[in-house]
Structure formats: C-alpha cells, structure tokens
Amino acid sequence: MRRAFLSLALFSSAFILPQAAHADTMDDFVLMGGGNTITFSLPASPPGNMMTCPPNSPSCLPGSQTFFSVSTLVTSNNTQTTETIDFPTMRFEGGLQILFPGDPLALLGNQLYTPDAANPTFRTDGPFFLSQIVQGNPPFVSYTLTITPEATSTPEPSTIALVATGLVSLVGFAAVRLRKRSLLRAI
C-alpha cells in the first residue's frame, strides 16, 4: 500500500506542479558616447519605487514627472563605483540620470522601460539613442545605450519536487528495510 502511494505521489508531482521555469533575469547595460563607456547590470524588472519630482526641482530632469531609482555597481572607463541611477518618466521622452560624484550625467531619449515607474520592465528592443543635457546651448553629446537580457538558470519547480519526492521515497524505503532487518534479527 505504501509503495503504491509513494509511486503515485512521485508520478503526480511531475504533472501537477507548474512546468514553466521562472528564471530571474538580469539586463546588461552598455552606454557609449562622449569618449565614455559605462556598463552596469540591473534586474530586468526591478522593484518599482516610483517617486514624483517636485515642480522646478534642480535634481530632476527637465519635464520629468515620475521616476524610479536603482543603486548598482557601475563601471565607467574601467573604474568601478556604486552609483544611483534615476530612470525618469518624461512627458514626451524617457531618459536616465547617473549620479556620479560631482558630475551627474543626464541623458534624454526614448523611454527605456514599460509600463511605468511603479512596475518597470526594461525594453531590450534598442539600441537607444540618447542626448546628454548640457547647460547652455547645444551641441548635444550623443550616447548609444544597448540593453541585453542575461538569463540565469533556476531549476523548475517540478524538478525540485521530483528530487524531493525521490529523496523522501529513498528515506522511506531505507527505513522499511531497516525495520524488516531488525524484525528478522529479533526472530
């Protein structure tokens, strides 16, 4: 009876549990322009921490309404630092702002994520062409941003369940064998 139950549990776990793996994905960002190469990685769908820009705030990009911020390790021209990156939702365009110490880099261009700053998922259909906001009159400095998905493998839930059920079955089988041996020795 027990053997039939364990076999049924093992067989059914392969079909009852979800089959699709939900791999955590990271996106690799490469920003090039103005003699700079800046790279960093972020989750493909970072946690939304939407904030609203106060009107006429000097720390917000012109025309921005809402944004979300992420702190990450940034490599800029072979120098690594931890920086805060703002991703604003613009009235007409998107952009990003990297807050380097004493020298923020503010860029405008296409919206880099969908649907909004509360639930962002980065777009990977670039490259994106961005222009650096320069105080005073143009010329603007052009930047190109590519966002490349990088999948990290995680086991499917059904695979984990199969392994766990198999281990439980082996432990149960070993316990039954030990019990039978101890009963035979007692006789």
CATH of the domain spanning 25-151: 2.40.128
For residue 60, give both structure tokens: 């917000």
Mean pLDDT (whole number) for 174-179: 81
Phi then psi for residue 48, to 5 deg, are -70, 125
Distance CA 25, CA 147 (A): 12
For residue 52, give both structure tokens: 């609203």
**96-125: pLDDT as tens digits:** 777 776 677 888 888 888 887 888 888 888
Phi then psi for residue 115, to 5 deg, are -80, -30
- On whether the pTM is more than 0.75, the answer is no
- Measured CA distances, 151 to 21, 86, 116, 168 (Å): 12, 24, 23, 31
Phi then psi for residue 90, to 5 deg, are -95, 160
> Which residues are bridge partners to 121 per DSSP?
114
**12-69: pLDDT as tens digits:** 555 554 444 444 578 899 999 988 899 999 998 887 677 776 666 655 655 556 778 8
